Amino acid sequence: MRHFTYQGLPTQVTFGTGTVASLPAVLEQQGVRRALLLSTSRQAEQARAATSSLGDTIVGAFEGATMHTPVEVTARAHEALMASGADGVVAFGGGSTIGLGKALAVRGGVRHIAVPTTYAGSEMTPILGETTAGRKTTRRAPEILPHAVVYDVNLTLGLPPGISGTSGINAIAHAVEGLYARDTNPVMQLVAQEGIRALAAALPRIVANGGDVAARTEALYGAWLCGMVLGSVGMALHHKLCHTLGGSFDLPHAETHSIVLPHVLAYNAPAIPEAMAMLRTALGDQDPAGALHRLARQVGAPRSLRDLGMPEPGIETATEQALENAYWNPRPLERAAIRDLIARAWAGDPPVANESETA
């Protein structure tokens, strides 16, 4: 058995159907007496309805959460937090809102309770990504991790099929990189493999029938596990590249992950035989990169970075940025191959066969 270090995440997790009703008890356990409710403008009404049981504990609301957590939005939210006198935030929504909750918790020293409504997994990580002047940077620290998470399957039933699909593949990306992370361990590899299996099996069923409660339960369970992986071990080229693309070209987070993941996996495949074997088992396919590319099509994810609005000259910009600031990856970063990877993702081409591992 190889040597490894495993550090469990201390977040309190409540999982099930109808669990949003437990929010008053969760806030009491966390010592929160006055909470600021966070959401996007689109989810503001749903957030108010879902947290109505908190009554006067909600002392204010900020409804301007935005993807990639721009620092200027965080500054406005922090003003609202200070004005409300809240000692906690309830972040209701996906990665954009939960990212804002993390930023506020770190700046204001308040408790953070996350109520996820997508499969993004941000709620299970001590990672904060923020965007300043079009550049997204990330940092990891224990105090960034939300203090409690309430998973309620009912809150995902209205998630549109397209968003469900891309959000789920975004979660799968966390676990795929976790399988071969430099600091991975047998515990996280098992969690990653199970999370990938659950999501890959559930997402097509959800796209076919968004009201399939069993599939929704399986997907949310898988997203929780994949989020644990992202929060427990380091990432590599895939996440670096997606952060670069999202921050530089204002591309939607989950859709970008869905497009890029098969290409990065194909690039790294020759260097990660153990992870590829685990992926074959989890996906039930001998070509994991191809399987993830086909899954993205099956769930209706956008086909290309071009479809998301990335200009063709951005291929060169993204290539240069992906090679800045040395970071670990199982396969050395080769400029020509990285550029080709990005160009194929921009065009919507499938991952090339000679990038994939041979069985």
> What does the pLDDT look like over 172-207, one tens digit per residue?
999 999 999 999 999 999 999 999 999 999 999 999
| Amino acid found at 17 | T
Q: Provide the whole-model pTM.
A: 0.91
**Which residue has tokens 């069985």?**
359
Q: 22, exposed or middle or buried, with CB in 10 Å at 0-12, 13-18, 19+?
A: middle
120: confidence class by pLDDT, cuts 50, 70, 90: confident
**Residue 349 corresponds to which tokens in the numbers above?**
């081409």
Lowest mean pLDDT among 166-170, 230-234, 353-357: 353-357
357: confidence class by pLDDT, cuts 50, 70, 90: very low
The angle at the Cα of 322, spanning 318 to 327, to the nearest 5 degrees, equals 170
Q: Which fold has domain 178-355?
A: Dehydroquinate synthase-like, alpha domain (1.20.1090)
135-140 and 127-132 as β-strands: parallel, antiparallel, unpaired?
A: antiparallel
Q: Is the Cβ–Cβ distance between 223 and 171 less than 8 Å?
A: yes
Percent pLDDT > 90 in the chain is: 86
Pick the CATH number of 12-156 from 3.40.50.2300, 1.10.1060.10, 3.40.50.1970, 3.20.20.140: 3.40.50.1970
The dihedral region occupied by 133, where left means phi > 0, alpha psi between -120 and 50, and beta the remainder, is: left
How far CA 33 is from CA of 25, 112, 117, 286, in Å, comes to: 11, 12, 24, 53
How far CA 215 is from CA of 50, 220, 252, in Å, comes to: 22, 9, 25
What mean pLDDT comes out for the span 137-153?
Answer: 94
pLDDT at 356: 42
HEC-encoded secondary structure of the chain = CCCCCCCCCCCEEEEECCHHHHHHHHHHHCCCCCEEEECCCCCHHHHHHHCHHHHHHEEEEECCCCCCCEHHHHHHHHHHHHHHCCCEEEEEECHHHHHHHHHHHHHHCCEEEEEECCCCCHHHCCEEEEEECCEEEEEECHHHCCCEEEEEHHHHCCCCHHHHHHHHHHHHHHHHHHHHCCCCCHHHHHHHHHHHHHHHHHHHHHHHCCCCHHHHHHHHHHHHHHHHHHHHCCCCHHHHHHHHHHHHHCCCHHHHHHHHHHHHHHHHHHHCHHHHHHHHHHHCCCCHHHHHHHHHHHCCCCCCCCCCCCCCCHHHHHHHHHCCCCCCCCCCCCHHHHHHHHHHHHHCCCCCHHHCCCC
d(CA 118, CA 104): 20
Q: What is the residue extent of each domain of the chain?
A: 12-156, 178-355
pLDDT at 214: 98
Q: By C-alpha distance, which of 261, 254, 314 is closest to 134?
A: 314
pLDDT at 271: 97
Q: Answer whether residue 49 shows pLDDT above 60.
A: yes
339: confidence class by pLDDT, cuts 50, 70, 90: very high
Do 12-156 and 178-355 agree at the fold level? no
